[in-house]
Protein backbone atom coordinates (compact mmCIF):
# COMPACT_ATOMS: atom_id res chain seq x y z
CA UNK A 1 0.00 0.00 0.00
CA UNK A 2 1.53 3.40 -0.95
CA UNK A 3 2.45 5.86 1.81
CA UNK A 4 -0.04 8.59 2.66
CA UNK A 5 1.00 12.00 1.42
CA UNK A 6 1.73 14.80 3.89
CA UNK A 7 2.34 17.47 1.23
CA UNK A 8 1.79 17.36 -2.51
CA UNK A 9 2.72 20.01 -5.09
CA UNK A 10 1.11 19.56 -8.52
CA UNK A 11 2.34 21.79 -11.39
CA UNK A 12 2.96 24.70 -9.02
CA UNK A 13 4.25 28.04 -10.36
CA UNK A 14 5.09 31.24 -8.51
CA UNK A 15 6.51 34.41 -10.11
CA UNK A 16 7.81 37.62 -8.62
CA UNK A 17 7.53 40.09 -11.49
CA UNK A 18 9.42 38.61 -14.46
CA UNK A 19 11.21 36.03 -12.25
CA UNK A 20 9.73 32.52 -12.10
CA UNK A 21 10.82 31.55 -8.59
CA UNK A 22 8.99 28.19 -8.81
CA UNK A 23 8.41 26.90 -12.33
CA UNK A 24 5.88 24.08 -12.87
CA UNK A 25 7.04 21.98 -9.89
CA UNK A 26 5.40 18.68 -8.92
CA UNK A 27 6.64 16.99 -5.75
CA UNK A 28 5.10 14.51 -3.29
CA UNK A 29 6.26 14.25 0.32
CA UNK A 30 5.15 11.12 2.17
CA UNK A 31 3.90 11.07 5.73
CA UNK A 32 6.83 10.44 8.07
CA UNK A 33 9.45 11.36 5.48
CA UNK A 34 12.45 13.63 6.02
CA UNK A 35 12.97 15.53 2.76
CA UNK A 36 15.79 17.99 2.10
CA UNK A 37 15.36 20.57 -0.65
CA UNK A 38 18.78 21.55 -1.96
CA UNK A 39 19.89 24.28 -4.36
CA UNK A 40 21.88 27.48 -4.61
CA UNK A 41 20.67 30.98 -3.77
CA UNK A 42 17.72 31.96 -5.96
CA UNK A 43 16.87 28.35 -6.87
CA UNK A 44 13.31 28.69 -5.49
CA UNK A 45 13.65 26.34 -2.54
CA UNK A 46 12.48 28.79 0.16
CA UNK A 47 9.60 29.95 -2.05
CA UNK A 48 8.50 26.32 -2.47
CA UNK A 49 8.57 25.82 1.31
CA UNK A 50 6.55 28.97 2.05
CA UNK A 51 3.87 28.05 -0.49
CA UNK A 52 2.99 24.99 1.62
CA UNK A 53 1.75 27.03 4.59
CA UNK A 54 0.52 29.98 2.49
CA UNK A 55 3.12 32.46 3.71
CA UNK A 56 2.99 33.23 0.00
CA UNK A 57 0.36 32.19 -2.55
CA UNK A 58 0.93 30.14 -5.70
CA UNK A 59 0.04 31.65 -9.09
CA UNK A 60 -1.06 28.28 -10.46
CA UNK A 61 -1.09 24.60 -9.64
CA UNK A 62 -2.41 22.78 -6.58
CA UNK A 63 -0.85 22.24 -3.16
CA UNK A 64 -2.40 19.79 -0.72
CA UNK A 65 -1.48 19.31 2.93
CA UNK A 66 -2.78 16.07 4.46
CA UNK A 67 -5.03 15.61 1.40
CA UNK A 68 -6.63 19.06 1.77
CA UNK A 69 -6.18 21.78 -0.85
CA UNK A 70 -4.46 24.62 1.02
CA UNK A 71 -6.66 27.15 -0.79
CA UNK A 72 -9.63 25.71 1.15
CA UNK A 73 -7.93 26.16 4.53
CA UNK A 74 -7.71 29.40 6.48
CA UNK A 75 -4.01 30.38 6.21
CA UNK A 76 -3.70 31.20 9.91
CA UNK A 77 -5.23 27.85 10.90
CA UNK A 78 -2.96 26.12 8.38
CA UNK A 79 0.17 27.72 9.88
CA UNK A 80 -0.85 26.70 13.38
CA UNK A 81 -0.93 23.03 12.35
CA UNK A 82 2.47 23.16 10.64
CA UNK A 83 5.65 23.79 12.62
CA UNK A 84 8.09 26.27 11.07
CA UNK A 85 11.75 26.65 12.08
CA UNK A 86 13.39 29.84 10.83
CA UNK A 87 17.06 30.40 10.10
CA UNK A 88 18.81 31.60 13.27
CA UNK A 89 15.75 30.81 15.41
CA UNK A 90 13.53 33.78 14.57
CA UNK A 91 12.58 34.20 18.24
CA UNK A 92 10.65 37.18 19.62
CA UNK A 93 13.44 39.16 21.37
CA UNK A 94 11.18 40.69 24.06
CA UNK A 95 9.68 37.34 25.15
CA UNK A 96 11.27 34.82 27.50
CA UNK A 97 12.15 31.32 26.28
CA UNK A 98 8.97 29.94 27.90
CA UNK A 99 6.78 32.64 26.32
CA UNK A 100 8.38 32.11 22.90
CA UNK A 101 7.63 28.38 23.06
CA UNK A 102 4.11 29.01 24.34
CA UNK A 103 3.07 31.49 21.61
CA UNK A 104 1.07 29.10 19.41
CA UNK A 105 -0.62 27.13 22.22
CA UNK A 106 -1.66 30.46 23.76
CA UNK A 107 -3.18 31.59 20.44
CA UNK A 108 -5.02 28.26 20.29
CA UNK A 109 -6.59 28.93 23.71
CA UNK A 110 -4.61 26.37 25.72
CA UNK A 111 -4.67 27.12 29.46
CA UNK A 112 -1.65 28.71 31.14
CA UNK A 113 -1.17 25.63 33.34
CA UNK A 114 -1.14 23.28 30.32
CA UNK A 115 1.24 25.59 28.45
CA UNK A 116 3.65 25.56 31.41
CA UNK A 117 3.66 21.74 31.38
CA UNK A 118 4.17 21.68 27.60
CA UNK A 119 7.06 24.17 27.80
CA UNK A 120 8.82 21.94 30.35
CA UNK A 121 8.25 18.85 28.18
CA UNK A 122 9.67 20.61 25.13
CA UNK A 123 12.73 22.02 26.89
CA UNK A 124 13.53 18.48 27.99
CA UNK A 125 12.91 17.21 24.45
CA UNK A 126 15.36 19.70 22.90
CA UNK A 127 17.86 19.10 25.74
CA UNK A 128 17.78 22.48 27.45
CA UNK A 129 17.81 22.71 31.25
CA UNK A 130 14.40 24.04 32.33
CA UNK A 131 15.50 25.98 35.41
CA UNK A 132 18.41 27.61 33.60
CA UNK A 133 16.60 28.57 30.39
CA UNK A 134 12.83 29.03 30.69
CA UNK A 135 12.95 32.64 31.97
CA UNK A 136 15.86 33.87 29.83
CA UNK A 137 15.51 36.28 26.92
CA UNK A 138 16.87 35.12 23.52
CA UNK A 139 19.79 37.59 23.68
CA UNK A 140 21.15 35.66 26.70
CA UNK A 141 21.34 32.41 24.71
CA UNK A 142 24.01 31.00 22.42
CA UNK A 143 23.16 30.46 18.74
CA UNK A 144 22.68 26.74 19.31
CA UNK A 145 20.42 27.33 22.31
CA UNK A 146 18.32 29.82 20.33
CA UNK A 147 17.87 27.27 17.57
CA UNK A 148 16.84 24.59 20.08
CA UNK A 149 14.20 27.00 21.40
CA UNK A 150 13.13 27.61 17.77
CA UNK A 151 12.64 23.86 17.31
CA UNK A 152 10.72 23.62 20.60
CA UNK A 153 8.44 26.49 19.54
CA UNK A 154 7.77 24.79 16.19
CA UNK A 155 6.73 21.62 18.04
CA UNK A 156 4.62 23.36 20.72
CA UNK A 157 1.19 22.75 19.13
CA UNK A 158 2.09 19.10 18.34
CA UNK A 159 2.21 19.49 14.53
CA UNK A 160 2.64 16.44 12.33
CA UNK A 161 4.56 18.48 9.73
CA UNK A 162 7.61 20.67 10.36
CA UNK A 163 9.10 23.02 7.74
CA UNK A 164 12.67 24.24 8.28
CA UNK A 165 14.38 27.04 6.36
CA UNK A 166 18.17 26.53 6.63
CA UNK A 167 17.68 25.82 10.33
CA UNK A 168 21.31 25.07 11.17
CA UNK A 169 23.07 27.29 8.62
CA UNK A 170 24.10 30.09 10.99
CA UNK A 171 25.66 27.79 13.60
CA UNK A 172 29.26 26.81 14.17
CA UNK A 173 30.17 23.37 12.72
CA UNK A 174 30.13 21.39 16.01
CA UNK A 175 26.78 22.84 17.13
CA UNK A 176 25.35 22.38 13.65
CA UNK A 177 26.36 18.73 13.56
CA UNK A 178 24.95 17.99 17.03
CA UNK A 179 21.69 19.85 16.44
CA UNK A 180 21.13 18.18 13.08
CA UNK A 181 21.52 14.72 14.62
CA UNK A 182 19.28 15.68 17.55
CA UNK A 183 16.54 16.89 15.20
CA UNK A 184 16.81 13.70 13.15
CA UNK A 185 16.23 11.73 16.39
CA UNK A 186 13.23 13.95 17.26
CA UNK A 187 11.84 13.45 13.75
CA UNK A 188 11.95 9.69 14.27
CA UNK A 189 10.74 9.73 17.88
CA UNK A 190 7.73 12.00 17.19
CA UNK A 191 6.85 10.49 13.78
CA UNK A 192 7.10 13.87 12.07
CA UNK A 193 7.11 14.76 8.40
CA UNK A 194 10.08 17.13 8.05
CA UNK A 195 11.00 19.32 5.08
CA UNK A 196 14.36 21.06 5.36
CA UNK A 197 15.84 23.71 3.07
CA UNK A 198 19.62 23.62 2.86
CA UNK A 199 22.36 24.63 0.44
CA UNK A 200 24.66 22.06 2.06
CA UNK A 201 24.61 18.73 0.21
CA UNK A 202 26.56 16.99 3.00
CA UNK A 203 23.88 17.97 5.54
CA UNK A 204 21.14 16.79 3.17
CA UNK A 205 22.80 13.40 2.61
CA UNK A 206 23.43 12.83 6.33
CA UNK A 207 19.98 13.87 7.63
CA UNK A 208 17.33 13.32 4.95
CA UNK A 209 15.63 10.20 3.60
CA UNK A 210 15.26 11.83 0.21
CA UNK A 211 16.63 14.93 -1.53
CA UNK A 212 14.96 17.27 -4.03
CA UNK A 213 17.35 19.38 -6.12
CA UNK A 214 16.20 22.77 -7.41
CA UNK A 215 17.80 25.21 -9.83
CA UNK A 216 16.32 28.40 -11.34
CA UNK A 217 12.82 27.48 -10.13
CA UNK A 218 12.85 24.00 -11.66
CA UNK A 219 12.87 20.69 -9.80
CA UNK A 220 15.81 18.93 -11.47
CA UNK A 221 15.77 15.63 -9.61
CA UNK A 222 14.47 13.91 -6.50
CA UNK A 223 15.35 10.68 -4.75
CA UNK A 224 17.66 9.02 -2.26
CA UNK A 225 21.37 9.87 -2.58
CA UNK A 226 21.86 6.52 -4.37
CA UNK A 227 19.05 7.35 -6.81
CA UNK A 228 20.40 10.85 -7.43
CA UNK A 229 23.83 9.42 -8.25
CA UNK A 230 22.22 7.82 -11.32
CA UNK A 231 20.88 11.19 -12.53
CA UNK A 232 21.81 12.34 -16.02
CA UNK A 233 21.81 16.00 -14.93
CA UNK A 234 25.32 17.52 -14.71
CA UNK A 235 24.35 19.99 -11.95
CA UNK A 236 22.89 17.22 -9.74
CA UNK A 237 26.02 15.10 -10.18
CA UNK A 238 28.23 18.10 -9.41
CA UNK A 239 26.33 18.71 -6.14
CA UNK A 240 26.77 15.06 -5.18
CA UNK A 241 30.49 15.16 -5.96
CA UNK A 242 31.07 18.14 -3.64
CA UNK A 243 30.96 16.24 -0.28
CA UNK A 244 33.25 13.52 -1.69
CA UNK A 245 35.75 16.11 -2.93
CA UNK A 246 35.72 17.79 0.48
CA UNK A 247 36.47 14.45 2.17
CA UNK A 248 39.33 13.79 -0.25
CA UNK A 249 40.83 17.23 0.43
CA UNK A 250 40.44 16.77 4.19
CA UNK A 251 42.06 13.33 4.07
CA UNK A 252 44.98 14.77 2.10
CA UNK A 253 45.57 17.50 4.70
CA UNK A 254 44.88 15.62 7.94
CA UNK A 255 47.44 13.20 9.37
CA UNK A 256 46.22 9.60 9.37
CA UNK A 257 47.91 8.55 12.61
CA UNK A 258 46.30 9.41 15.91
CA UNK A 259 42.90 10.13 14.35
CA UNK A 260 39.91 9.22 16.43
Q: Which of 195, 153, 203 is nearest to 175 (CA)?
A: 203
How far CA 83 is from CA of 44, 92, 150, 235, 244, in Å, comes to 20, 16, 10, 31, 33
Burial class (CB in 10 A: 0-12, 13-18, 19+), 102: buried
Calpha distance 231→228 (Å, rounded): 5
Non-local CB neighbours of 68 within 8 Å, separated by 6+ positions: none
Output the pLDDT for position 3.
66
| CB contact set of 170 (below 8 Å; sequence gap of 6+) | 87, 88, 143, 147
Q: Please list the ranges in the chain whose pLDDT falls under 50.
A: 1, 260
The reported pLDDT for the residue numbered 248 is: 79
pTM: 0.91
Query: What pLDDT score was predicted for residue 258?
Result: 54
Instruction: Quote the pLDDT of residue 227.
Output: 94
5-89+160-253: CATH homologous superfamily? P-loop containing nucleotide triphosphate hydrolases (3.40.50.300)
| Cβ-proximal residues to 147 (8 Å cutoff; 6+ apart), any chain | 85, 88, 89, 167, 168, 170, 171, 175, 179
pLDDT at 223: 96
Amino acid sequence: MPSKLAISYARVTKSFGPLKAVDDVSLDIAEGEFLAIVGGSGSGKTTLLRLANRLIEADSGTITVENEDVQNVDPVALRRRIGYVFQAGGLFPHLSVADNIGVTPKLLGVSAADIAVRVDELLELVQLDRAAHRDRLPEALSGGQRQRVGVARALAAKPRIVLMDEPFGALDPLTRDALGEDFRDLHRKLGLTSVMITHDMTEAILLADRIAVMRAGKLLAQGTPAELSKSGDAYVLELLRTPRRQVERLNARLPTSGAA
